[in-house]
A and B are shown apart, each in its own frame.
Chain A
Amino acid sequence: AQKITQTQPGMFVQEKEAVTLDCTYDTSDPSYGLFWYKQPSSGEMIFLIYQGSYDQQNATEGRYSLNFQKARKSANLVISASQLGDSAMYFCAMRSRGGNQFYFGTGTSLTVIP
């Protein structure tokens, strides 16, 4: 069975500081993709970053990076230089190659403090 776990219901970070949002996953498939989405208070789901299970390097997209530790089955999102606009819910998700479904975690609510 596939499963995504986000153990931090809520996180706070000071503006301009870095923050790590945790995500662990469980799968027996050798090939899979890991995704992070941002959901601001307006409700839309915004794709942030992707990491493939065979990628040798950690993914980066601007201020977002993914700390991928395959042996530990973790895919933590790192946001550098936090901004007030980063306050939102963040969801980790996974899909196996050839898989029909995406599996989502329960999300982490991030609040950036001025």
Chain B
Amino acid sequence: DADVTQTPRNRITKTGKRIMLECSQTKGHDRMYWYRQDPGLGLRLIYYSFDVKDINKGEISDGYSVSRQAQAKFSLSLESAIPNQTALYFCATSGLPTAYNEQFFGPGTRLTVL
């Protein structure tokens, strides 16, 4: 089984709809992240969390919210989706903040907002 899972894998929704993307991990990591990827822009950080009581905004948090329900679960919500939120969304985890701990990524969610 995959260490970091994301649901759904693909989603098409309409402008104004609320949508939630879910992420679960079995790596036992405290640190979890949400990124979006757009062509030519690389990965941009939306939110990150170090535990259920610690949520931090990233580079592009406007229009998004998150919930850390448990150590293993981190959800991203779009309260009122708009077309420019069409992107590939990744959840990631990492271990302690030593320089050598890489991030582990989920398979991604392709979101299309019509």
Q: Show the binding face of A for B, using Cβ within 8 Å.
A: 9, 31-33, 35, 37, 43-45, 47, 50, 52-53, 91, 93, 95-102, 104-107
Contact = CB atoms under 8 A, between A and B. Distances in A.
B45 interface: yes
Q: Which of B56, B98, B102, B105 has the most CB of A within 10 A?
A: B102
A101 B102 CA distance: 11
Interface string B39-67: 01111010010100000101000000000
B36 to A, nearest CB: 12
Contacts of B107: 43-44
B97 A45 contact: no
A12 B98 CA distance: 35
Interface of B: 31, 33, 40-43, 45, 48, 50, 56, 58, 88, 90, 92, 94, 97-105, 107-108, 110
7 contacts: A44-B107, A44-B108, A52-B100, A98-B98, A101-B48, A102-B92, A106-B40
A50 B90 CA distance: 20
Contacts of B92: 45, 102
Given A43-B108, A95-B97, 9 more contacts: A33-B98, A43-B110, A44-B108, A45-B108, A50-B100, A96-B99, A100-B97, A101-B48, A106-B40
Nearest to B42: A106
B50 A97 contact: no
**A interface secondary structure, majority:** loop
Contacts of B56: 100
A33 B95 CA distance: 14
A100 B50 contact: yes
Contacts of A37: 105
A9 to B, nearest CB: 7
Contact of B88 (A43, A47, A105): A43
Contact of B102 (A9, A35, A104, A105): A35
Contacts of A47: 102-104
Contacts of B48: 100-101
Contacts of A50: 100, 102
A98 B43 contact: no
